[in-house]
Each structure stands twice: as C-alpha cells, then as structure tokens.
Structure 1
Amino acid sequence: MYGFTIVENLQKIDEHIKRHELNYHSKRVMVSKEFTFDAAHHLHCYDGKCKNLHGHTYTAVFGISGYTDDIGLVIDFGDIKTIWKEQIEVHLDHRYLNDTLPDMNTTAENMVVWCYEKMDEALAGYPNSCRLEFVRLYETPTSYAEARREWMTHG
C-alpha cells in the first residue's frame, strides 16, 4: 500500500543540494509543447468538400532538442510559448489562412512546413544547441501532417 508523505523540510539550494548537482546529465534531450488554434481555409484545385470555405481546430506540436544547461533545462516551455504567440500564432488563430499565409494551397502538408520554418528561424542562435526536431500539425484529432528536421535539411 502506498502512503502519503508530508514534506516538512523543503529542500534548499546550497544546503541540501549543491548547484553543481542540478544538471543530472549531459545528453541531448527533446522537449515538446502543444498548441491549438482555430482557423478557416479552403483548398484550390481539390475535388472534395474541402474546396469550400470551412474551419478546423488545429493542434500544432513542436519537438525541440538540445543539451541541458547548468540547472537541467534545454529550453524553458515559456520561451517556446512566447515564440509561438509572437511569431506563429498571430498568422493563424481565428484567421482566414488563404489570406494570412504565404501564397500556397493551405493543405496541412504545406502549413506544417511553414510552421517548421518559422519555429526553426526563431530558434536560430538559441543556447544549449537547441534545434527543432519535428512539427506535427493536426487538422483533425486523427489526421496530421509532419515535418522532421532530417527531411527539411536533406530533402
């Protein structure tokens, strides 16, 4: 049977744990953050119901890898959120994607590459050798397109 423990002595830096102990390893690790947005679009040269104006609640998932810093972080989740909010979401959320994205057919396949390029550009020069590993863009809960680093850099 499992018991519950009440913490009586909260661990203190330099008293209970030393600063050099905060980073447990020196391995590359990937963190992931997920965002949702609502948008409308339609597809050109497509013979199906998506040729008509319609909307989706999209989900974008970003996988970012890097080496942990002196306190054990690759990148702060809040930093990923800031990049998303300021550089990507502003072009997507509650927008008509055919107007706000570069000239393209607004397929999930085209949009995921655009999202990849925007996040990759924002991460350039980030500490800890951060790099974008993948972006997954869900158009529905069961349908997504994915862009991976190896595909973006090697064709």
Structure 2
Amino acid sequence: MFRISKDFAFSASHRLDHLPSDHQCARLHGHNYTVRLELAAPPDELTPAGFVRDYGELSDFKKWLDSELDHRHLNDVVPGRNPSAENLAMWIYEIWSERLPELSAVKLSETAKTWAEYRP
C-alpha cells in the first residue's frame, strides 16, 4: 500500500461543552490548526503517472477549508458536534471521503505537540 499526505492550515475559535466550567477548553479560545489528509492506494491502483493522487488535485480541499473553517467559530460551523479535535477530524473525513475515495485518514493538530486522528 502506498500512502501520501499533505498538510493544510487554518485558524479558528471554539469552546468545548461537557467540561467543568474552570477547564481552559470550556472557555472561548482559538488555535492555529493543521489538518493532514492521508490518501492510500495499492500499487495496482496508482494513476498512470504513478501517483496515489496528484497533490494538485487537493486544491479544492484547501479552498473549502479557507471558505468554511478559516477564521470561523467552529461551534457555529460543525453541526451537532462538540468541536473537539477528534470530532473535527471525523467530520472532515465524512465530508471528503466521497470526493477523495483514496482518503484513508484525517489528522488534526491544535498545537505543535498534539494530534487527533480519525481512521475508519
């Protein structure tokens, strides 16, 4: 299996429900997020050029990210979910797995040291 990945960035605010009122994430705050898309394909399903998918074809994802998530309040954008890193990764996968059938995982980072991953 071949795997490729590409990172994208956006900035947004959120607050998380179901936490004690004195928890730092219960308060309104923001992050500079990194989203990593991972795509996979077996050797016999590579493009004629030998790609899992041409990285240039991920430009629609960047446009969507910029228009839908960048500089937004995620509690208003992500329907019916607490906008934790875990839930955001799963939500992005659900939206983009039909458009990118090779999508095998979405990873999301809120800080340089923390990552959440959704891999069905």
The bucket for the TM-score relative to the shorter chain is 0.7 to 0.9
TM-score w.r.t. the length of structure 2 is 0.87
Matched, 1:122 2:95: no
Q: CA RMSD in A?
A: 1.4
Provide the residue aligned with 1:13 in structure 2: none
Matched, 1:144 2:115: yes
The structure whose residues are more often strand, as a share, is: 2
Provide, for residues 100-121 of structure 1, a one-character-per-residue CA deviation record: whole Å limited to 9, x for no partner: 1111111111111001112212
Provide the residue aligned with 1:100 in structure 2: 77
Q: Distance in 1 between matches of 2:83 and 2:93?
A: 15
TM-score w.r.t. the length of structure 1 is 0.69
Higher relative CO (Cα under 8 Å, sequence separation at least 6) belongs to 2
Provide the residue aligned with 2:15 in structure 1: 42
Provide the residue aligned with 1:33 in structure 2: 6
The one-letter amino acid paired with 1:58 is Y
Question: Contact conserved, 1:31 with 1:64, CA < 8 A, in 2?
Answer: yes
Structure 1 portions without partners, runs of 5+: 1-27, 125-130
Matched, 1:78 2:56: yes
Give the C-alpha shift of residue 89 in structure 1: 4.0
Structure 2 portions without partners, runs of 5+: none
**4+ aligned runs moved over 3 Å, structure 1:** none
Percentage of identical aligned residues: 38
Question: Contact conserved, 1:31 with 1:65, CA < 8 A, in 2?
Answer: yes
Give the C-alpha shift of residue 84 in structure 1: 3.4
Question: Contact conserved, 1:91 with 1:101, CA < 8 A, in 2?
Answer: no
